[in-house]
Structure formats: C-alpha cells, structure tokens
Structure 1
Amino acid sequence: MPIRARALRSIRRARLAAAATTALVLCSVAGARPGFPGAEGFAANATGGRGGDVYHVTTLADDPNHVIPGSLFYGLYEKHVPGSGTVPGVGRTIVFDVGGTIYLGNNTLDLKNIKNVTIAGQTAPSPITIVGNTVQITSSSGKETSNIILQHVAIRKGLDNSGDALSIKGSGNTHTIMVDHVSGSWSEDEVISVGGSTNRANNVTVQYSTMSEALTSGHQYGALIRNNQDARISYNRNLFSNNASRNPRPGSYLGTVLDFEFQNNVVYNWSDRAGYTGGASQSQPENVNMNFSGNYMIAGPSTVGGPTTAGGTPVTGARRNTLFTKDASNAPVNLQVYQEGNMIDWSAGASRDGQDIGWTGFANWNGTTSSAFPMTDRSGAPFNYPTAGSVDPADVAYAKIVGGVGAWPWARTATDQRLISELQNYGGVAAQSTPNATEWNALVNQPMTTRPAGWDTDQDGMPNWWETLRGFNPAAADNNTLTTDGYTRLEKYLHFLSAQANWGVDADGVWSQYMNWRGMRPDNTDSSAGFGAVTTAPRTITVDIPVSIAAMSFGGAHAYTLTGPGPITLDVFAGTTTLEATSGSHTIAAPLVLADNAEVTVAGGSNLAITGELTAAGKTITKKGDGLLAVSNVRADALNIVAGQVRVIASGTPAASAGTSVMKSLSIPAGSQLDLTNNALVIDYTTLGSLLSDTRARVSDGRLTSSVADADHGIGYADNATLGLTEFAGQAVDSTSLLVRYTRLGDANVDGVVNIGDFSLLAASFNQPGSWQAGDFNHDGSVNIADFSLLASNFNQSALGRPAGLHAGGSAVPEPAFSLLLFPITMLLRRMR
C-alpha cells in the first residue's frame, strides 16, 4: 500500500480515536469545578492534596534517601504520602516554612508512585528554586502517579545529567498532572517535557510556566510531548524563550495518538525551527491532532534567516516567519492541525507588531525543500478540547504572560525579570551552553529564609493572621473544612497567595492592562492588588473596569492616586477585607465598595485618603496603625478606630450632606482620634445608655475633635429623642439618633445657629450637670456662667461664621431678642451667689 494511502488510513483512525477520547474527557470535564481558579486544559480538574494532610517543609536539605523529616524529599516519598504507601489517608498538601534554593546532588527529585499531592511553592517566605538535577513526575511499572499539582516553584537544573529540568513520564500509569506557574530553565535536553520513547503520561497541563535557555550543543530545546500511549496534553499560556527549537515538539511513539492543545503561548527568539513535529527515525507513524490557537511568535536576535542545519540536516531558511513545521523527511506523520488567531512578529525590535498570516506561517519539510503546509493536514474546525472555546487574542495572551507567567510573578527573581525584559526589549541569546553565571552563583549561595515562630499555630497550612481575618480559629486545624464554593479553607489560602499582583510599571496606566501588573491582573475575590515602591514620581492609575478584590495595599515614597470610574469592591469569601498603607501618601478617588467588614491599616507617618464615594452599608470598618485615614464620610454599621486618626475631609459648607457620616457604633479608645473637621455625624443607637457622657468625654479629651475649629467653634452633640428632627445634615434621623456636628459654641440644639432656642435650653439646666444639649459648651459636665459666656459671644452667629439672619440681600435681622436676655441673666447670677 502506498505511503500516502497508509497515512490517510492512519489519519482516519487518529480522528476516530481523538473523537472517542475527547468525548470521554468532556464527560468528566463538563460542568466540573476546576482544581483551582485559572486551571485549564486536560488536567484542569486535578485536585491535588484536597482533603489530605498538611506537610511542612522546614529544611532545604538534599535528602535522596528520604530520611530527614521536613525535607521536600521526605514529604514526597511514596511510603510517607497518605494513601500512596502504608500511611492511611487520602493525600497531602506540601507547604513551605522555609524559602531558598534546594540543591540536588547526584540524584533526581522524584514525585513517584504517589497520588493526590499539591506542592504549593507560593506558601514559602521567599521563592523556592530547585537546581543541580532533574525533577521527575513519574511512575514505576504497574504503579500509579496521579492527581498532582505542582505550583509556583522554579526548576533551573544547570549542567549535570544531560536531562530535562522537569520531566513528566512513567512506565506505569502517570496521569492527571497539573504544572502551574513553574519557572524552568538551564536544562540539557528539553526544559519541560511529557513522555518519552519508553514512557507515558496522560491528561497533563503545563500552564503559565517558562521554558527558557536550554543548554548544551545542538539540543537546546523547549518541550518534547511524545508518548508511547494515546495521550491528551495541554500547553497553555507559557513562555518559551531563548531555545533553539521544540517550542513545541508534539508527537507519538508506536503508532499511538496525541491530542495536543497548544494555546495562548508566547514563543520568543528561537535559533532553529520554532516548533515542529516529525523527522523521527522510528518506523511507526506519528499521529497528532492539534489545536494551535492564539499564540504569539516573536523572532528574536538569534532567529536568523538563511539555511541552517539541525543535526546535519538542512532546514528551511524562512525561520523568522514560520510558526510550525511538519517534518516529513523520515517516518510518516499523520498530522491534523486547527489553527486560528496566531500572530508572528518577524521584524526586529521591541515593538510588538505581529501579524496573523494564517496557514502561511505553517510549513512542510520533505528533507530537502520547504513547501506549503499540506491541505489535507488542515482542520476546518477546532478539536473539542477543554479550552477550545476560551482562546484569548494573541496580543491579550502576550500581555497576560508578560504580567503573570513564572513561579513568583508578583515578585520575580532576577532570572525571570531578565527573561521578561529580553522578551519586551528584543534581547537575549538562544542556544547557550552554560547558565548565566551571576544568576547561578546567586542561586546556589541564596540564604534560607524562615517563617517566624507562631506563624501557623495549628499547623494546618494557614497562618494565624489569615485565619483570624477570615473568622477561623487559628488554634484548630480546619484546613479541610469546605467553603461555600466547594474548595477547602486551605485551598482558598493557596488561591489568595497565587492571585497576588503588584503594580509593575513606573508610569501612569489603566487597571485593565495586564502588562501593567506583576502577577495575574487582580480582578477576583481571591486576589490582592499592591502598589509599591516601583515608581520614581507620583502615578495615577485609572480603574477603568469594575474590579472585586480581597485586599489592597500601598507603599513607597511616591504617591499613587486611583481614579474612577471603577468601582473597586473589597470582597472576600469569609471574614474581613484589608486595605493598607505601609508608607507614603496615597489616594483612592475611585468609588470604593466594602462588601465585607474591612480592616484599614495606615502606618505611622503615612496617609491614605478615600476621596471617592465610600459604600459600606452594614459593615464594620476597623482603623489600625498610627497614620492618617482621610475619608469623605463614613456610612457603615460601625467605625472602630483602634489607633491613629480618621479624618472626615472638610466639606464646602459646614455639615453638608456629602460629608455627614452615619453609623450605629463608634469606638475611639485612648490614643486614637476622629476628626470631623466641619462635618456632621449621626449615631443610630439601640439604647442610649452612656452615649451622651461618652461623647462628652471623647470631645473633652480630644478623641472626637475638629481640626478646623477656632475659639468660637467646636463639636456639639444632642439626642434626637428630645429634638424630634426627621432630617439632620442631609440625612434621615429618628428618635434613636445621636446628632453630632461641627458648629458654633452655644449651638445647643445643633441646628447650626446660636439663637434664643439655645439660650432656652441652657437656662433650663443652668447651674446643673448637663450635656452639650443642655448648655455644657466647654464639656466640663456642668452648665454654668462659663457656658453662657460662650453662647453670648456667638449669639446670632451661624456655623458659617456670619450673622444667622443675614440673607442674600445683605441686611441683618435686628437683635431685639438679645436685650431680653438681660433680665434672666441677672436673675441667674443672683441665684449663683
């Protein structure tokens, strides 16, 4: 039978096999919750250590014999993992109490014959980097390695065993493997590979990871995805940079079928073929079905034109504008490709001006010449893989990768910083033979960091501070308690760490732009947004989209201003949100919504101003730290000022509606302060109790004050149960409202004017104990001649500072009433003798 006929029959078999296996996968995937937010591809449903125990890494020791409790080796050993060896249980989550470099000696680090394990590098106090040898996720013949999540670690192998940095394979049953946010580099074969000629792995996802700077002569490759069994593999949202080729190299052994998803990746600065399949020396055909979608290919300074060789075999010279090549020079390749939305930037320079050139970017190589990609290999519709319907445009994928790829994108190490800078600025060298010497030396000499004592009292993987904020008990191990969205409490903590993001550019910008962030753009209730010391001048960030985040922080000497339209919603799945300023003076002018109780911490010497609309109905705001929090108003269930000062920003007119605060409870302990400036406050109490005397004490000792008050002004207060108002300072009030405002001394009924009505209140309580409402304008607890003097000095004056009867026409109302006061005053003075 001619080769072409055999190939067509193989294609049909491959298509049928792909359809059957895809249907099985979709039955299990459809409607299922991903293993964590953002999980994609064929391993999206990997749950890792959910429901298992928590193992703490407390040493960075190389422990190939698995004899040192607290080492990563010990925690991953088959005989020590619950449910895998002899230990009862269902799995394990590995957290790190130490950070730094794990230097492998003569042995690989193996995740072997274990099930249901999460390795959570995001929990470390500083980045975890594994150097010196290969990390393997593998299985022995007749055994199983499955349901593994490996997150937020760097694997930078270096010169040692001629192997990969990370290899996912096994002669047994290796499946359901999620590799997320792993920084891979300096391998001596491929950087992150799946399978092998005698190995296999199935249902694997590699996402948001880097495969960069593979080493050694002639074999500096990104990824080999080639199994000896039918397999389903996803490589989504990764960065391939400074490799010779195999970005990627999908294929199969023994006539098996690979269903391969290569979506939203960035491939930069290849020196040979960018990606290809085929060219193998084996006699069996390779069968590959592939969705190749939304990728951004960028020819770099090492992507030269003209003829070249790969292992002595000539290849096409059109490397700068070829995305993927079918190498039909040796064994048959039954290839079906669906491609859409791919861009290639072949022009030199830092500007991203790629084009979608469609099938022109795909080539066929027959061993001597390059030609157009075969029509029979082009699929008109995407394969029904898990993320086929969620392809980002290539430029969006590029932006997300610049912002969010790698082990610790929110605080990148020197190597990842350099690789991203090279990508953005047209730098870097492909086909290197040794690691970057400065970076390597820094890694191998990296000091170990350690969590402080008392970080996690109950050893459940969640720190005390986080559990306390969420309303959990830090003394009770409740890591496996399910939350309302089906994840465990420990998983929610891991999600929170993974979703950290920091403003990453020294410029003004918009929130929605992924490249402005270091970390995944913060826009969900697991995420946090940080604005730190990366700027050299004041910067304005426009919140151009509505965002919901769990926490926000500011720091640095240069001011940040967040403007609308927004809004920014602080929202967490349980407990309390946080807003923090550790240094500097910063402003939130965008609308701010508190969906949960909020803890606002402003460090001493720092200022945080919320000048936009603050919505906090039914919530408690707790102010901590010795610094200043300035707000336009506070309308919340409660305001607790634990430390420092809260200042209500002065309004255009005293007690204007916009500046009036409303709450049910107010706490101002000694050493803290509420500054109303020229505004008003309503406290809707349940029981009056000691509220009047507490308010007098607060005003008297300066805890409740006005920084704009002069000798004639101050803070007045009254119980509306006796005043009977329905509106006060623009807010509805009732008989259980305490009314507080900046006003003239002598304004007993807090209507903003000192007049005969105030004198009547004073006269009724003269020479008796009383509150402001009774005439105690100096807050000494009694109504006497001193208070009358204050009233008299401000009589017929308003809080505005002009005569109370002054109308638009400018004429003052006569004051005959004042003369009527003389007789009562005389009588009062006589009684005092």
Structure 2
Amino acid sequence: MFEVSGVIERTRDLEIWDPYITIAGQTAPSPGISIHGAGLRIAASDVLVSHLRIRVGDRSAGPAVHSRDAIRISNRDGEPRRIVIDHCSLAFSSDEMASIWYRAGDVTFIDTLMGMPLHDSIHVDEGASGPAPHGFGPIFGQESDRVALLRSVLAHHHGRNPLSRTDGLVMANNVVYDWGNVVTNLASTRGSVNRSTVVGNVYIPGRDSVSRPPILVNSMPSSSRVYLADNVGPGMTSDPWSLADNRAGSFVVASSPPVTYAGYAPRPSAGLRADLLATVGAWPSARDAVDQRIAREVEMETGGIINCVSADGSSRCRENGGGWPTLAENTRALSLPARPHDDDDGDGYTNLEAWLFAFTP
C-alpha cells in the first residue's frame, strides 16, 4: 500500500519471490504510482497487482537488454499460480510488454492498458551481436496454462498481440490497435497443445498494420481446439473464421469454447472501444501523459509504432514516446480498518478486502 504518489526510479526489475503479495496502487494519493527504468518480475503464487504503471525505457542503466519486459511471470524451478494483473498500464518495453514462461498458470490480465513498446531500440537477442527491432506485445509460453486476457487495450505492438502457446487461453473483450506484422498468433512449440477461446475482440488497423487476417492459427497437434466468435476486424464476414488465417487445419475449429473463465461472461463487441477507453489502465481518472496519448490514439486512430522514449535528434528517434512522464508527489496517511481479517458485514470479503475495494481511482 502507498501513502505517497509519484515515480519509483529503478535500474533493476522489482522481483516477487514470496506468495500472498498484493501491490495496491489504488491506495496511493492521486495521481498514483509509476515505476520507471525497469519492470516487474513475478516468481511466486497468489499475487495481485493493481493500478500500477510500469515504464521500462531505453536508458543505458537498466535490466539486461535482451529481457526488458514490463511484466515477466516466470520461475524456472517453480510453478507460479493465481496471479492477477488488474488495471495496470504498461509501456516502453523493448522485449515483450508482458511474458509468461515455464510452468506458470492461472494468470489473468484484466482492464490493463499496454502500448508503445520500443521497436527499433536497444533489444539484443541472446547470442546476437547487435540490436534488432523487437517492439512486441504479450507472449504466453508453451509450458504455461490457463491464461486470460480480458477487457484490455493493446496498441502499437509490432507483433504478439498476443503470441500464445499456452494450453487454455481465454482472450475476450480486448481492443487491439495498430499492429505491425502479426496480430493474435495462436501457436504450438515442441508439440504443445493449444486450446484457445477468442471472443468479442475488436481489431483496428493503424498506420503500421500489415493487411492480413488479424488471427493467425499456426500448425498445432490434433488435440488442439480454437473457438472464435464475435470478433470484429478488417475483412470480416458472417463467418467467424473469416478473420483467421488457419494453417492448422479444419480439425482445430471448435463449435463451442474449449476453455472458459469462471465468473466472466464475455460481453458483445459492439461499443467495446469507447467503454474500455473510459476505464482501462492504472488510475483512469488521473492518467499520465503516456496513457492519455495511447487512449487518444486508439480513439482517433492516429499515431504509430515508436522506437525511443524521447527524441534525441536522430532519425530513428523521430518516432518517440514524448519523453518520460511526470507524476506529482502527494502524501496522504492511510488508516487501516479495525479487525482487518474479520468479515463484519458477512459478504465473504474480509474488512481489509472491502477497504481496498473502496478505492476506485
């Protein structure tokens, strides 16, 4: 919890290795909290992160240039479970905007704003001799399972919107704007099964978008299934698979969702963009300059893929994010509820949980 608003400057990722952690950015005074210069790594179970901004960036001092993600969920020796990223704002990554690796599962991204990764920037693949373009959106690795991407906005990612090799994806009610090459990529690696439900999403091409079906279904094992319904995008017809490039074969086409998300009923895609832009991301009532720009460009269908946080006089950095945003440093004391672990009103939530729910920035 936070009693001070403002920017947390980092040169190394913040890391969570212990379970039962909540980062409640909504408890800060307005305009909330932003992490600049690095990202967040989650390697434990039962983690909730809400109303947090993460701006990774291209400074020389920072995490390794091959892995500057805004959020990375991974533990080579463990199985992180039950992780929720809620009302967060992610920008200026130079690898993936978010990633899930190894045996992580039961991960939810909801009401989150992801936009403006750095494409022709500082990213160097492991083993490579120099930088290469790499401004990508979320990737969900082949050992992961049960991942949900709900009610979120993805803008100006060159590809991976998302790239999902997970078994058990629910992608529902998202807006994807101005992809570069590949949009939503459903794939398999080393024979991994891919069961995915992709419903109620809106795909809006922008300045950098390649003209192709927004959903790519790659080759995958015969037990894989993909369900598509009520997605909106260029080239659509009454056939929900008109938005897909199906390279797997007819066997993959599911007549009903192969996986669902408990307690979530996808809404119709009509009117989705306006509704999401009003509520998505960290502190939607007090957005920083980055979130304001992303929301405006998605609404007006302007802008494009960027390469740098700030202009530096070079032609490469003409496409930039407008510089590092500022946040006011305000203070406000918090008063925790009495008997925080009790449930005084009997609604199934502890007094502490009810107190947190009352913060609606």
TM-score above 0.5: yes
| Preserved contact between residue 343 and residue 355 of structure 1 (Cα < 8 Å) | no
Among candidates 288, 309, 324, match of residue 215 of structure 2: 324
The offset of 1:109, in angstroms, is 0.4
The offset of 1:325, in angstroms, is 0.7
| Preserved contact between residue 344 and residue 355 of structure 1 (Cα < 8 Å) | no
Tell me which residue corresponds to 1:97.
3
Among candidates 43, 56, 59, match of residue 157 of structure 1: 56
Tell me which residue corresponds to 1:77.
none
Identity %: 28
Amino acid in structure 2 at the alignment position of 1:489: N
Among candidates 242, 246, 263, match of residue 172 of structure 2: 263
Structure 2 distance, partners of 1:131, 1:356, is: 45
The offset of 1:132, in angstroms, is 0.6
Q: 1:356 to 1:234 in 2, by over 3 A?
A: farther
| Preserved contact between residue 207 and residue 238 of structure 1 (Cα < 8 Å) | yes
Establish whether residue 186 from structure 1 lines up as the match of residue 85 from structure 2.
no
Structure 1 distance, partners of 2:6, 2:264, is: 39
Establish whether residue 118 from structure 1 lines up as the match of residue 27 from structure 2.
no
The offset of 1:494, in angstroms, is 1.8
Tell me which residue corresponds to 1:237.
151
The offset of 1:426, in angstroms, is 1.0
Query: Which structure shows the higher helix fraction?
Result: 1
Aligned pairs for 1:92-491 within 5 A: 95-105=1-11, 107-112=12-17, 114-125=18-29, 126-138=31-43, 145-159=44-58, 160=62, 161-162=64-65, 163-171=68-76, 172-195=78-101, 199-217=102-120, 218-228=133-143, 231-252=145-166, 258-278=167-187, 284-304=190-210, 318-319=211-212, 322-328=213-219, 335-345=224-234, 358-365=240-247, 374-387=249-262, 390-430=265-305, 432-436=306-310, 439-443=322-326, 446-451=327-332, 455-456=333-334, 459-460=335-336, 477-482=338-343, 483-491=345-353
Structure 2 distance, partners of 1:235, 1:441, is: 27
Structure 2 distance, partners of 1:337, 1:388, is: 21
Structure 1 distance, partners of 2:281, 2:228, is: 26
Structure 1 distance, partners of 2:278, 2:239, is: 26
Structure with more relative contact order (C-alpha pairs < 8 Å, separation 6 or more): 2
Secondary structure of the residue aligned to 1:244 is: coil
Amino acid in structure 2 at the alignment position of 1:124: A
| Preserved contact between residue 234 and residue 243 of structure 2 (Cα < 8 Å) | no
Structure 2 distance, partners of 1:108, 1:388, is: 33
| Preserved contact between residue 236 and residue 263 of structure 1 (Cα < 8 Å) | yes
Structure 2 distance, partners of 1:301, 1:398, is: 18
Q: 1:214 to 1:357 in 2, by over 3 A?
A: farther
Q: 1:123 to 1:134 in 2, by over 3 A?
A: same
The offset of 1:290, in angstroms, is 0.3
Tell me which residue corresponds to 2:318.
none
Structure 2 distance, partners of 1:177, 1:208, is: 14
Structure 1 distance, partners of 2:238, 2:231, is: 6
Q: Which runs of 5+ in 2 are unaligned?
A: 121-132, 312-320
Aligned pairs for 1:630-669 within 5 A: none
Secondary structure of the residue aligned to 1:449 is: coil
The offset of 1:397, in angstroms, is 3.1
The offset of 1:384, in angstroms, is 4.3
Structure 1 distance, partners of 2:323, 2:264, is: 41
Q: Alpha-carbon deviations, 1:83-142, whole Å to 9, x = none?
A: xxxxxxxxxxxx10111111112x210011x1212111001013201111121001xxxx
Q: Which runs of 5+ in 1 are unaligned?
A: 1-94, 139-144, 253-257, 305-317, 347-353, 366-372, 463-476, 501-833
Q: 1:117 to 1:294 in 2, by over 3 A?
A: same
Structure 1 distance, partners of 2:280, 2:50, is: 12
Aligned pairs for 1:666-677 within 5 A: none
Runs of 4 or more, structure 1, over 3 Å off, are: 331-335, 354-357, 436-443
Over the residues paired in the alignment, what is the CA RMSD in angstroms? 2.3
Q: 1:388 to 1:325 in 2, by over 3 A?
A: farther
The offset of 1:480, in angstroms, is 2.4
The offset of 1:442, in angstroms, is 3.3
Q: 1:442 to 1:339 in 2, by over 3 A?
A: closer
TM-score between the two structures when normalised by the length of structure 1:
0.38
Query: Which structure shows the higher strand fraction?
Result: 1
Aligned pairs for 1:461-610 within 5 A: 477-482=338-343, 483-498=345-360, 500=361
Structure 2 distance, partners of 1:441, 1:479, is: 38
| Preserved contact between residue 222 and residue 252 of structure 2 (Cα < 8 Å) | no
